[in-house]
Amino acid sequence: MSGPGNGDTSLIISINRKCPRQRVREARGSRGMLRAYILSLMKDRRNSPADKLVKGALLLLSWVYGSAVRLIDLAYRSGIRKVTAVPAPVVSVGNLTLGGTGKTPFAVFLADHFLAGGKRPAILTRGYGGDENRMLKDEIAGVPVLAGQDRVKNALKAASSGSDVLILDDGFQHRRIARDLDILMIDGVRPFGNGRLFPRGTLREPASALERADILVVTKCDMISEAEKDRITGRLRGALPGKPLVLARHRPTFFSDATGAAYPPEHLSGRKVCLVSGIADADYLAYIVEKLGAGIAARIDFGDHHRYSPRDIAEVRRVCGRSGAEAVITTRKDQVKLRELDIPDLEGRLYVLNVVIDIIEGKEKLVAGLNSVVNG
């Protein structure tokens, strides 16, 4: 349920004590609180009698939404809606659920792959929230990042400027552009959410849309057991025999501070930290940080694509200070927005966790697919 961060002050604060209890607070802002509440229902985290009534209303809306999705799909399949071919190979990266699968880091992985092969890639992104396209520009300097709703126009612009392969970020549902390869990212922890369509669940399309994908990439495989991994991959292989299946995780590479200095991943091992993020899956961030040996004293989870304000920073100072944290950890996606604010007192203990997509199984299938696109 991602949306623009304007005026959205939703957040959840967790402070870990030595005792097993956690103190959780949903913070200020009526719009943000409503958004957080609806998201909790979509993920079935609430189940009171009143919650069930709201879920019933959301289910009705999901039937309307599902009918619209199926009509759009039919329009493309029948040719009523036209698909535009552009004069460069197109590789699309997308997902079936709302956020948190690692599409943007995977787009960076693809850009690096094509650069290493002597290609001139460009990334086409919708620019939603502004954070992802700014992060992309930081991560892969020299690769054009064209943001905007009209991605057909941007694709033609990139191709005319010399780009010879186009990466369509969050493109699975953007079917106006013809693509040579459709890569679908699947969250290994919650592959299909609760199995229901938006807004009753987190599915953007019915699971049958998997058939459109050329390659399936299951992410966050380090966060699930071998038995669960086998269950998910078995289900996918059974439903889509012969479809290339790739397993991946987010691998931490280093921490960086406000000056740009880099530190090894184990730099904060044994220290108490406060996590601050506005991403779709803050639990995965916490998992990675704990695996690196840091102790999480507090977490402040803003909504996805959150736009930080001075008021938010005051809350970060208060919560992190009260928790006794020695360092504040955030993500690259958040850092591009935080650096726009005046936070000199936080910069001395603010660390950015840098991660890359790490393919742990099926890399040869992925590379073969990518090479077939650019080599004709």
80-86 own/partner pairs: CB under 8 Å, 24+ apart: 81/175, 81/176, 82/176, 83/175, 83/176, 83/177, 83/178, 84/152, 84/176, 84/177, 84/178, 85/178, 86/152, 86/155, 86/156, 86/159, 86/166, 86/177, 86/178
Closest CA to 278 of 99, 140, 145, 93: 99
Question: pTM for this one?
Answer: 0.90
CA Rg, the chain, in Å?
21
pLDDT of residue 12: 52
> Distance between CA atoms of 247 and 220, rounded to whole angstroms?
8
Q: Which regions in the chain score pLDDT beneath 70?
A: 1-32, 128-129
pLDDT of residue 33: 77
Supply the DSSP string of 211-242, one letter for each residue.
GG-SEEEEE-GGGS-HHHHHHHHHHHHHHSTT
> Distance between CA atoms of 357 and 347, rounded to whole angstroms?
27
Using one digit for the tens of pLDDT, what is the confidence trace for 301-323?
988 888 899 999 999 999 999 99
| SS3 track for 297-310 | EEEEEECCCCCCCH
* Boundaries of every domain in the chain: 11-16+252-355, 90-250+358-374
pLDDT of residue 99: 82
The pair of structure tokens assigned to 376 is: 């004709």
pLDDT of residue 1: 38
The reply to whether 11-16+252-355 and 90-250+358-374 are identical in fold is yes
Does residue 144 have a cis bond before it (omega within 30 degrees)?
A: no
Using one digit for the tens of pLDDT, what is the confidence trace for 90-144?
999 999 999 889 998 999 999 999 999 999 999 999 876 677 788 888 888 889 9
> Distance between CA atoms of 212 and 142, rounded to whole angstroms?
32
CATH 1.10.3720.10 is held by the domain 90-250+358-374 = no
Is beta strand 11-16 parallel, antiparallel or unpaired with respect to 121-125? unpaired
Is beta strand 327-331 parallel, antiparallel or unpaired with respect to 145-147? unpaired
Question: Which region, left, alpha or beta, applies to residue 243 given φ > 0 means left and ψ of -120 to 50 means alpha?
Answer: beta
> Distance between CA atoms of 335 and 331, rounded to whole angstroms?
6
- Residues 99, 236: contact at Cβ < 8 Å? no
- The H or E element that residue 139 is part of is helix 131-139
> Distance between CA atoms of 26 and 13, rounded to whole angstroms?
7
- 11-16+252-355: what fold? Rossmann fold (3.40.50)
Beta pairing partners, 203: 97, 197
